[in-house]
Structure 1
């Protein structure tokens, strides 16, 4: 039974759908997939068009609205919105170290998680569309970041369900391997580091001091995790958002306190670092981060810890070497490394499972370039200039490969523009889709 709630300016309704784990075996094991319907107050009974939101990730649950906040402020003017907790996340049947342990050993867990990529998410969405709207009614879909990757898969395998498509920071390279992705990503991360240090030159020495301390003596985080120098460098994930550089600077400001034996890393700093580097709230982000790029026709070798292998081609990220030479210590970006499954308590039980997924070579293709070339669904996309997470060149090449896709290339916003722009990014895309911009 659906449950309705009221928050300032909105009415939300809970939906839980029982769906196949494996869509090729619809009568087999079933999982729950949760979605929250959101509509503007006093419009509950209106016959509004539906807008499905596909969250970034992988492994990210949809946002929890407290009212007409963020991009919902604009969306609710025109749409009834469905916020999907993609399989394995949020209130959908969860997939984490606790629940996966019930499935058996690492091989059983890996086989299970192999069904949690974009193709399965899209097929979930199509079953939900039919149950909510009926077979013949289409909906609009908004995909942010990985949600945009999913939307490209949607256009490839089930475009008949789509009325229009909005993509923000999520035009993936259709034929890019994981190695291609990271080979293009590391130089972008270098630029983000340079921009951060130009903005906060005092952070060069602050970061070197912390890094030197961690090389000599890794710290223990409040959850028992191990803060190595490599884990500290992973804070660079913050540099891809509009306010990330400033937030990182403020975190570094409170790194030290004077303890009984002299200077030591503060509890405030360690708690702040843990909030950024722990995967306890979203372990699928780590476990599936490289498998989302797996396509057998693109790379028959699988992903094989691509970010770790490709990193060796960029020695500037070697923190001990930077300390020895006097160079700035560089933060890394949106990369997942095998050592994370040793340092993070929420990931340690999934280490062997992640190894099996990294070794997997039979990933199905996620995109159909031939079908995208004859696309008839209106598609508009925001491409953020020098996006740290998604390569701009890949995005523009994909835009040219999808018939009728229109892009808006902007440097006004970073990758999180949809969330932080107060509806401006979505408003521009809606105007483009309607021929008003």
Structure 2
């Protein structure tokens, strides 16, 4: 059953699809996948427009909940009907979190269930939805992890695709998790240097915070003890285009004088809590390393590779800030993840991951693909992305140093328009 609303210049229709948990067993267990259709009221007949499927970043992130047409969506709505897909386990789809996963049974059963939540299953969900909506072909727009899903889509069902647009999401087709994290740590170290060159005083403040925590107990607003690794998670700001400068506002107000002496301020503690919270997207922590896994276990890759980069060690005097890495302590420290600690261990040790990409099919690809590769992207390495671009047929790349990983959050309309035009160019 679908429900339609019209407000602030857009039509929205909510769709719920009953799909197989395992597409190899279509008669087996079913899950619900939610998607929201968006179109502009400026079109007399939105039903006549071609479709654009948006593949969200993540893993484990729900699609945007637009209250009006802005940014890339406003630009896309000039040409397309947009389908915002809540990838399985997220948003309005059947949930997968600390509350629902125990229904599966023990940790092994939960982990087995979650092996069906990677890009290959997401793409097969999309294919089932496309067929259910009676769409012959559609275009896709993949941001970050959505670009990973795009490469899987091009591997599995290229005949369903009119064109593909990718921003900050050309995954390596062959690199294992260790290779990816080595590149990530190097990029993050460079970004730390860049940031602290802009704001030298912030490096001193970070050292003061680390020294303060060595002798003073602090707690986040929900009561969670503050640790140095939690402070390091502020490095997620560094992946931003303009958002990076918001980190300075956090650090400049880190301390406050109180009757009990100098303490970390409530505003600082709230900022750390916001970056550290995985309550709404636990799949990010559970499945993040698996998006790089093909045929072998990841075995907590980011944590192991950390040993090769001692400047990121929490025992350093002023440790570098981390980014999109996942560590075992997440599942010991975070109340939203703690019940899933054993499930996370089983997933980290799982060595039966299926291939996500078909290099031969991608090399012969004829679907027009236009991809933005961000030179200084700290999360999707430029060199690995360009290697992938060279291995995929009919791909055009716009390499730019103007934006970072979340560029579409700042200049989404321009970026989308440029890539759409590139995808329409004759090869």
TM-score by length of 1: 0.95
CA offsets 1:328-369 (integer angstroms, 9 cap, x no match): 431011100111111111111111000000000000000000
| Aligned residues of 2:60 and 2:282 also touching (Cα < 8 A) | yes
Task: Report the equivalent of 1:150.
Answer: 149
Report which stretch shifted further, 357-366 or 261-270.
Answer: 261-270
1:316 pairs with 2:326: no
Task: Report the equivalent of 2:100.
Answer: 99
CA offsets 1:102-156 (integer angstroms, 9 cap, x no match): 221111111111110000000000000001124xx10000000000000000000
1:121 pairs with 2:136: no
Task: Report the equivalent of 1:18.
Answer: 18
Task: Report the equivalent of 2:301.
Answer: 306
1:190 pairs with 2:189: yes
Shift of 1:45: 2.6
Task: Report the equivalent of 1:9.
Answer: 9
Report which stretch shifted further, 39-48 or 199-208.
Answer: 39-48
Q: Name structure 2 gaps, 5 residues minimum.
A: none
Structure 1 residues 126 and 66: alpha-carbon distance in aligned structure 2, compared to 1, 3 A threshold: same
| Aligned residues of 2:242 and 2:410 also touching (Cα < 8 A) | no
CA offsets 1:368-424 (integer angstroms, 9 cap, x no match): 001101111111100001201101011000000001111000011111112220401
CA offsets 1:291-325 (integer angstroms, 9 cap, x no match): 111101xxx3x10000000000011112323x1xx
Task: Report the equivalent of 1:206.
Answer: 205
| Aligned residues of 1:223 and 1:345 also touching (Cα < 8 A) | no
* 3-state SS of paired residue (1:205): helix
Task: Report the equivalent of 1:45.
Answer: 45
Shift of 1:44: 6.2
RMSD of aligned residue pairs (Cα, Å): 1.3
1:372 to 362, 378, 385: 362
* 3-state SS of paired residue (2:315): helix
CA offsets 1:157-183 (integer angstroms, 9 cap, x no match): 111111100010000000010000001
| Aligned residues of 1:12 and 1:36 also touching (Cα < 8 A) | yes
Task: Report the equivalent of 2:424.
Answer: 434
* 3-state SS of paired residue (1:51): strand
Q: Name structure 1 gaps, 5 residues minimum.
A: none
* 3-state SS of paired residue (1:97): coil
2-structure distance, mates of 1:419, 1:154: 24
* 3-state SS of paired residue (1:292): helix
Task: Report the equivalent of 1:30.
Answer: 30
2-structure distance, mates of 1:38, 1:93: 21
| Aligned residues of 1:220 and 1:226 also touching (Cα < 8 A) | yes
| Aligned residues of 1:279 and 1:347 also touching (Cα < 8 A) | yes
Task: Report the equivalent of 2:408.
Answer: 418
Shift of 1:436: 8.4
TM-score by length of 2: 0.97
Task: Report the equivalent of 1:361.
Answer: 351
| Aligned residues of 2:233 and 2:272 also touching (Cα < 8 A) | no
* 3-state SS of paired residue (1:15): strand
Task: Report the equivalent of 1:287.
Answer: 286
| Aligned residues of 1:73 and 1:422 also touching (Cα < 8 A) | no
| Aligned residues of 1:226 and 1:344 also touching (Cα < 8 A) | no
Task: Report the equivalent of 1:247.
Answer: 246
* 3-state SS of paired residue (1:423): helix
Shift of 1:281: 1.2
| Aligned residues of 1:63 and 1:83 also touching (Cα < 8 A) | yes
| Aligned residues of 1:215 and 1:229 also touching (Cα < 8 A) | no
| Aligned residues of 1:204 and 1:329 also touching (Cα < 8 A) | no
2-structure distance, mates of 1:217, 1:162: 57
2-structure distance, mates of 1:145, 1:31: 25
1:61 pairs with 2:56: no
Equivalenced residue count is: 426
1:332 to 322, 326, 333: 322
1:352 pairs with 2:342: yes
Report which stretch shifted further, 209-218 or 81-90.
Answer: 209-218
Shift of 1:282: 0.6
Shift of 1:264: 1.1
CA offsets 1:31-65 (integer angstroms, 9 cap, x no match): 00000000001426330000000000000100011
CA offsets 1:207-234 (integer angstroms, 9 cap, x no match): 1111122234453212233321011111
1-structure distance, mates of 2:426, 2:216: 58
Shift of 1:8: 1.1
Task: Report the equivalent of 2:222.
Answer: 223
Shift of 1:244: 2.8
Structure 1 residues 218 and 350: alpha-carbon distance in aligned structure 2, compared to 1, 3 A threshold: farther
